[in-house]
């Protein structure tokens, strides 16, 4: 069966590189799936979960946004930040979520509110992914 070559890159370096069966990405207008032989594509990514399958095993990364390109069975993700679900410290993520919610509740200016809402979305992604990993154990 055909495979995809996936590379997830952040400013800190490469978060993942390897051969995968499929990729599910959080696009700005909704989640989408990339399978082998997918048409060329460039998309912006929202804060959300990037999932990929390798030989029946599923792996998830918390993304804080970025871009995705598909060409010739290669998927390249340029992410603002990417964190594997098994690296999420759930207590720390829940504390960050509470702080982000407090910021949203207290902001009045539209520019500050937008930044606070973006922070809240990123925190929710990390908490949801961390909780799901914990519950699978």
List the domains of the chain with CATH numbers: 4-85 (2.60.15.10), 89-136 (1.20.5)
- Residue 76, token pair as written in the block: 């390249």
The larger pLDDT score, comparing residue 127 to residue 109, is at: 127
Q: How many angstroms separate the CA atoms of 20 and 34, rounded?
A: 10
**What is the pTM assigned to this prediction?**
0.81
Closest CA to 132 of 79, 82, 93, 77: 93
- Residue 10, token pair as written in the block: 């952040």
Closest CA to 82 of 58, 60, 66, 63: 63
Q: Band of the pLDDT at 22, cuts 50, 70, 90?
A: very high
Residue 8 has a pLDDT of 97
When pLDDT is averaged across residues 93-110 and rounded to a whole number, the result is 82
Q: pLDDT tens-digit profile of 31-86?
A: 999 999 999 999 999 999 999 999 888 999 999 899 999 999 999 999 988 988 88
């Amino acid at each position: 069966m055909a495979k995809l070559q996936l590379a997830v890159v952040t400013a800190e370096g490469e978060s993942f590189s390897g051969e995968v069966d499929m990729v599910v990405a959080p696009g700005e207008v909704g989640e989408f799936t990339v399978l082998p032989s997918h048409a060329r594509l460039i998309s912006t990514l929202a804060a959300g979960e990037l999932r990929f399958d390798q030989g029946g095993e599923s792996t998830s990364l918390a993304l804080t946004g970025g871009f995705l390109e598909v060409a010739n069975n290669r998927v390249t993700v340029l992410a603002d930040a990417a964190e594997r679900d098994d690296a999420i410290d759930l207590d720390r993520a829940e504390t960050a979520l509470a702080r982000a919610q407090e910021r949203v509740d207290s902001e009045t200016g539209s520019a500050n509110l937008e930044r606070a809402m973006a922070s809240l979305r990123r925190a929710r992604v990390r908490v949801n992914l961390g909780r799901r990993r914990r519950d699978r154990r």
